[in-house]
Amino acid sequence: MNPAAHGPTTWSPARIRLALLALAMGGFGIGATEFVAMGLLPELAADLLPALNATAPEEAIAQAGWLISAYALGVVVGAPTIAAAAARWPRKQLLLWLVAAFTLGTVASALLPTFGLVLVARFFAAVPHGAYFGIASLVAASLMGPGKRARGVALVLSGLTIANVIGVPAITWLGQQTTWRVAYLAVAGIFALTFVAIALVVPWQPGDASASIRRELGAFRRVQVWLALGIGSIGFGGFFAMYTYIAPLATEVAGLPASWVPVVLMVVGVGMTIGNLLGGWSADRSVRRSLRGYFVALALALAALGLVAAWPPGLIVGALVVGAAAAALSPVIQARLMDVAGDSQSIAAALNHSALNLGNSLGAAAGGAAIAAGLGFVSPIWIGLGFTIAGLGLTAATVAIDRARQRGGQVLSYATGAIAVADDTA
């Protein structure tokens, strides 16, 4: 495939904006397919686990949370696998294949009849997730130009956060008024529209001709890559421990009617949108300071939410702040991974989403276990606080290694205010 056959290499500002919008639309669909289950857990439990739901509704809701964990595990498996194997593919072509897979997987999730089959479908529907965000982030960073890498990442992620403002609440409401299956078919429709948008307006970009599976997997030889993955999976798990069970938190703890669940989801989405843009801006200035600051903010927000969750205004304000602090971490962690991964950029861009969704799976599972043990619907917040504190500890460790190597004379690059470790194989 020849770039000359696909138009000029210099694109107009209008074409770039349309391309970024199309990439963000994919993020919107991913946000909808990933998070809509959190608002529809009671409906999923009632439909797919009717016997358990009739006798032990708390246990049924906790088991329905496995659907969220299954999706997260699909991301964990798919992101590095696809990113490493397909790094040489033309990026637009790869994006189109990934969106097609999303569409089919979401349709299967909506149509399969039993809990076990839907669980499997959610796993496979998630496999393209990390690779999509990774490749889309590389395309966006290229379109944005030098010095705006993290802002390009944040623009792609903005589709996901805006989904939590508009898409997830609206589709949750649709699922409450009809069935959760109709809600997932609506999500599949978003992916179909995304396929058309990317095909029409995203410029052709070559893959990395020098990439190889061996080179991409070389990122795993770097201790700082593993620490960055730990920061994302363990630290971000704190948010998902709370967010997975936001519906029962709103109805059973704060005493709000079920019709308020989409409102609470919208509030979290507003916070996530603000936080994502703030995180992209600050990461282009200092990744390390941003990591520390946002983890401290997330820990404080979770602690405050745990104390005031039974008070509806406290729940709403707390959910807003937790969403903002958590979403700000996402582009920061992605920038950190790309800084420390050396020339394994394709897999680094995708691994962030493996890490965050491992956090999703761990947080959802730990929060569900606490609920099933009879600790109540507030307990996932305290579980989440523990995860967040652990993430802050890992952040301190990775910063300490940077400083030790700097004192030891290793070369550090301070491009755009972030730190890139030039030799980090120890």
With a CB cutoff of 8 Å and minimum separation 6, the contacts of 46 are 53, 60
Q: What is the pLDDT of residue 389?
A: 94
**CATH number of domain containing 300:** 1.20.1250.20
Nearest to 158 by CA among 35, 10, 28: 28
Distance (Å, whole) CA 216 – CA 229: 15
Can you name the residues that pair with 413 across neighbouring β-strands?
420
pLDDT, position 346: 66
Give the E-state strand segments of 276-362 in sequence order. Answer: none
Residue 1 domain flag: no
Residue 71 domain-assigned (yes or no): yes
**CA atoms of 407 and 134, how far apart (whole Å):** 33
pLDDT of residue 4: 40
Of 125, 62, 369, 391, which Cα lies nearest the Cα of 237? Answer: 391
Convert the pLDDT of each residue in 221-269 to its tens digit: 788 888 888 898 888 888 988 888 888 899 999 999 988 888 898 898 8
Residue 175, domain member (yes or no): yes
Query: Which domain range does residue 354 map to?
Result: 10-421
pTM of the predicted model as reported, rounded to 2 decimal places? 0.70
Return the exposure string of 1-32: e unless at least 16 CB atoms fall within 10 Å of the residue's CB, then b.
eeeeeeeeeeeeeebbebbbbbbbbbbbbbbb
- Is 56 part of a structural domain of the chain? yes
75 is a domain residue? yes
The number of domains in the chain is 1
User: Residue 3 falls within a domain, yes or no?
Assistant: no
Rg of the chain, C-alpha, whole Å: 20
Angstrom distance (rounded) from CA 372 to CA 255: 20
What parts of the chain have a pLDDT lower than 70?
A: 1-10, 87, 145-152, 207-213, 216, 342-346, 348-349, 408-426
pLDDT of residue 295: 93
Residue 417 is given by DSSP the state: G
Do the domain assignments include residue 426?
no
